[in-house]
Homo-oligomer: A and B are copies of this chain.
Amino acid sequence: MSEFIAPLESLIEGFARLPGVGRKSATRYALAVLDMNDEDVMSFADSLAGAKTRIKRCKICGNFTDTDTCPVCDDTGRAPIICVVEDVRALMSIERVREYRGRYHVLGGVLSPMNNIGPDQLNIASLLSRISAEGVTEVIIATNPTVEGEATAMYLTKLLTPLGVKTSRLAYGIPVGADLEYTDAVTLMRALDGRRELN
């Protein structure tokens, strides 16, 4: 027998499906919902129910959008540079910096033979067609610095080089504010590799 009455139990199970939310936090959230006013709960439930239908993928870059194309692709002032990211989380992180003023391309994952994710499962074909269609001058590959992210970056470079487009990769190195003593060996090695001349 469950500890709670059925409707409360199903609400707790809903919250417990979220990343990093255990049963205890889920129970806390569920009880908080019961204390909220009806209007707030209904608008929350409505945005949840509509999320998957209202939020679509941009036809050009794969970013989230509520129309056909996303606000980034609609922005005509963006330079013809494409930053290739694994997912929308990465895109958001880069946008938050407000430094990059180019376009994006969301792969929707990385190559991972172990999980049966090959080039066909990723958003790669549309990236290649964008190169000439948008007159792209540079592709910045910003996949994560993991084994899969690296392999994907190498694979993309091989596809892009014959198209005559400049490809680059985000710099590896010591994060700002970090301590050399606590930096792992691989990162230090990459930081040495990528050292820059001082003028």
Contact = CB atoms under 8 A, between A and B. Distances in A.
So how many copies of this chain end up in the complex? 2
A64 B5 contact: yes
Interface stretch (A26-34, A153-161, A164-172, A183-191): A26-34
A40 B51 CA distance: 12
Interface stretch (A8-16, A111-119, A127-135, A143-151): A8-16
Contacts of A17: 36, 40, 44
Could you say which of A4, A10, A65 has the most chain B C-beta atoms within 10 Å of its C-beta?
A10
A44 B54 CA distance: 17
B5 A65 contact: yes
B65 A31 contact: no
A71 B5 CA distance: 8
A178 interface: no
Given A14-B44, A41-B49, A66 B31 contact: no
| In the A-B complex, the 10 residue pairs with the closest CB atoms | A14-B44, A45-B49, A7-B54, A45-B48, A10-B47, A11-B47, A18-B29, A5-B66, A19-B32, A45-B45
Interface of A: 3-8, 10-11, 13-15, 17-21, 25, 27-34, 36, 38, 40-52, 54-55, 64-66, 70-71, 88-89, 92, 95-96
Given A7-B51, A31-B89, A33-B48, 6 more contacts: A3-B96, A5-B70, A6-B66, A41-B48, A45-B48, A48-B48
